[in-house]
Amino acid sequence: EDKVVQSPLSLVVHEGDTVTLNCSYEVTNFRSLLWYKQEKKAPTFLFMLTSSGIEKKSGRLSSILDKKELFSILNITATQTGDSAVYLCAVEGPQYGNKLVFGAGTILRVKS
Amino acid sequence: DADVTQTPRNRITKTGKRIMLECSQTKGHDRMYWYRQDPGLGLRLIYYSFDVKDINKGEISDGYSVSRQAQAKFSLSLESAIPNQTALYFCATQSRDRTEAFFGQGTRLTVV
């Protein structure tokens, strides 16, 4: 069974804290790993990672992929209340039938 | 106008009724997906289609059917709705070169 596992399931932090969200998967050969942020309704795209060890950054968010250890992390520094959301990780590749397979998500709540 | 449009946005229906959820896109993408989202379970794949003549079951296709009427349209049907199909349903599209996926705003379906 295709599997993408995210941890923690939920997290509560204070504004200004740094958080690390984890995504692990079970196959060694895949095409890409994607991170999404979901606030009210539709998930919005954050990053796509295809190469191991190369960090993607966008403002206070960054993500890196480790293809050897089969995981990715999403870091958020200096968190703000607007970062409160569900963060979803998805993996896509031939062993998944070339379809996007999502993890259960991490619920992040940032308190002011 | 949104690139990926789902209709209806909200629907309440009775057990045993047939219901269709529609998705249309203006992105010109070949690949389209239907997911359902339940609390704590992330996005689970119902059906996906890589072009008009290609339909594939996802991990939770039982009780659902789909129709790809055109490249731009992908409909999801519940032949005989049951209460445990109450969920938030998302349509997504993805280009053939498999970069980020774009999501509709979701349809909140309640089966009573």
Interface probe for A, chosen from B103, B107, B109 (most Cβ of A below 10 Å), is B103
**Closest B-chain CA to A48:** B100
- Residue A2's pLDDT band (cuts 50, 70, 90): low
State the amino acid at position B7 in one-letter form.
T
Q: How many CB atoms lie within 10 A of CB A13?
A: 16
- Residue A68's pLDDT band (cuts 50, 70, 90): confident
Task: Report the C-alpha gap between B8 and B31 in whole angstroms.
Answer: 21
Q: Across residues B33-62, what is the average pLDDT? A: 91
Subunit contact A102:B42, Cβ cutoff 8 A = yes
Write the residue in B45, B100, B103 that is nearest to A42 by C-beta. B103
Q: Is the Cβ–Cβ distance between B104 and B90 less than 8 Å?
A: yes
Beta strands in B1-112 (DSSP E): 4-7, 10-13, 19-25, 31-37, 43-51, 54-57, 64-70, 73-78, 87-94, 101-103, 107-111
The predicted pLDDT at position A55 comes to 87
Q: For the segment A17-45, what is each residue's pLDDT rounded down to a tens digit? A: 999 999 998 866 678 899 999 998 899 99
Q: Specify which residues B2 forms β-bridges with.
A: none
Higher-scoring residue by pLDDT: B25, A41? B25
Task: Report the C-alpha gap between B4 and B30 in whole angstroms.
Answer: 13
Q: Does A43 touch chain B (CB under 8 A)?
A: yes
Nearest Cα residue to B111 out of B84, B90, B88:
B84
Q: Across residues B74-86, what is the average pLDDT? A: 96
Q: Is the Cβ–Cβ distance between B35 and B89 less than 8 Å?
A: yes
A-B interface: how many C-beta pairs under 8 angstroms?
54
What average pLDDT does chain A have? 90
Q: Across residues A52-66, what is the average pLDDT? A: 90
**Closest A-chain CA to B48:** A99
The proportion of chain A whose per-residue pLDDT surpasses 90, expressed as a percent, equals 66
Subunit contact B43:A88, Cβ cutoff 8 A = yes
Higher-scoring residue by pLDDT: B79, A93? B79
Higher-scoring residue by pLDDT: A51, B71? B71
Q: Does A93 touch chain B (CB under 8 A)?
A: no
Q: Is the Cβ–Cβ distance between A73 and A23 less than 8 Å?
A: yes
Higher-scoring residue by pLDDT: A68, B36? B36
- Residue B37's pLDDT band (cuts 50, 70, 90): very high
Write the residue in B42, B48, B100 that is nearest to A105 by C-beta. B42
Q: At CA B39, angle to CA B100 and CA B74, rounded to 5? A: 45
Q: Across residues B21-50, what is the average pLDDT? A: 92
Task: Report the C-alpha gap between B90 and B105 in whole angstroms.
Answer: 7
Interface probe for B, chosen from A58, A88, A99, A101 (most Cβ of B below 10 Å), is A99
Write the residue in B33, B99, B106 that is nearest to A48 by C-beta. B99
Has residue B93 got a pLDDT over 70? yes
